[in-house]
Amino acid sequence: MAVRRFLLDFEKPLVDLEEQIDQIRQLARDSEVDVSQQLLQLETLAARRRQDIFGSLTPAQKIQVARHPHRPSCLDYIQVISEKWIELHGDRCGSDDQALVGGLGQLGEQPVMFLGHQKGRDTKENVARNFGMASPGGYRKALRLMRHADRFNLPVICFIDTPGAYAGLKAEELGQGEAIAVNLREMFGLRVPVIATVIGEGGSGGALGIGVADRLMMFEHSVYTVASPEACASILWRDAAKASTAAEALKITARDLSQLGIVDRILPEPSGGNHWAPLQAAETLRLALLEELEALFSLEPELLLEQRYAKYRAIGRVLEDSAEHAIDAIKA
């Protein structure tokens, strides 16, 4: 029996087609009837509908795609694009956070340091990974590995996929804000190329803790935001049901952030999102990383540091028309 894909609400028009395709495949297995033509027609129709749906997603729908339980994770990508992978553990202060992983890998012929948020596939794994919300120990582990990479001249490759840093009482007691702030400061001083890619959900300071990079890339249906739309709606309108309105106002999509000069490169996704064709998505990521690394290796460390600093100093310019529009939207 075929395994049914997990479908999002706006993918429901594909349900009937998926069922018909499954039935025809079952018929082909149980009999000698040639159904290849009918199967091809239905698969072509399903692919066309999927392309139409995913070509016009709203910001709120993109969030659903970014949070899809089958979307490829940090370790999924590393295992496909890296010929070698050795995970390194611990912050050397008694913690080894499972929500933020890192280690040595190889991209093409180039040894690199991989870092990334890691979510789980099911409830048990998500609890173990704290749903991708890193603790202070996770960010201190990341900093230890980035310093290691800097010492041995290894590029740092970061994969961002978190709803935000863990905000529990224990995290605050252990200095969550300080841990993230130190990472921001220290990443500006790394003398090796740093590339960050938002592979799913980039939430607030939890994303920034490994997000200060020479190149920031985003997958087409990923999101990158200062606060989740649900939290933003609760703060502004005291109504989480207005999350879709908040998603529009926050400018969280790759296209919006590219226009604002925050994102340097948008990576196209397969029709239906990365969870429909994870190997194709991994190849897109691998080629983009190799291309960006080649460009960054041509720069002297001093110029690399200068351009990285200038990149982030340029973020946050206020345009009067945009500011007035945002204020009007909040008042409404």
Is residue 290 domain-shared with residue 176, that is, in the same domain? yes
Is residue 283 domain-shared with residue 154, that is, in the same domain? yes
| Structural domain contains residue 172 | yes
What are 63-109's pLDDT values in tens digits? Answer: 999 999 999 999 999 999 998 999 999 999 888 999 999 999 999 99
Report which DSSP code applies to 253.
B
Is residue 139 domain-shared with residue 157, that is, in the same domain? yes
CATH code assigned at 235: 3.90.226.10
The answer to whether 122 and 164 have CB atoms below 8 angstroms apart is no
Is residue 183 domain-shared with residue 230, that is, in the same domain? yes
| Structural domain contains residue 327 | no
| Structural domain contains residue 94 | yes
| Structural domain contains residue 2 | no
Q: Which residue has the tokens 């100093």?
A: 313
Is residue 107 domain-shared with residue 23, that is, in the same domain? no
Is residue 280 domain-shared with residue 307, that is, in the same domain? yes
Is residue 41 domain-shared with residue 68, that is, in the same domain? no
Is residue 70 domain-shared with residue 205, that is, in the same domain? yes
Is residue 18 domain-shared with residue 157, that is, in the same domain? no
| Structural domain contains residue 225 | yes
CB atoms within 10 A of CB 223: 28
* Boundary-marking domain end, from 17, 37, 56: 56
Is residue 279 domain-shared with residue 153, that is, in the same domain? yes
By residue range, what is the domain housing residue 281? 63-322
Backbone angle region of 316, left / alpha / beta, with phi > 0 → left and psi within -120 to 50 → alpha: left
pLDDT greater than 60 at residue 323: no
Is residue 170 domain-shared with residue 307, that is, in the same domain? yes
Query: 327 has which bridge partners?
Result: none
Q: In terms of Cα–Cα distance, which of 186, 196, 245 is closest to 224? A: 196
pLDDT for position 2:
44
Is residue 180 domain-shared with residue 212, that is, in the same domain? yes
Cα–Cα distance for residue pair 172/285, rounded to 1 Å: 35
What are 201-212's pLDDT values in tens digits? Answer: 999 899 999 999
Q: How many domains does the chain have?
A: 2
pTM score, two decimals? 0.87
What are 138-189's pLDDT values in tens digits? Answer: 999 999 999 999 999 999 999 999 999 999 999 999 999 999 999 999 999 9
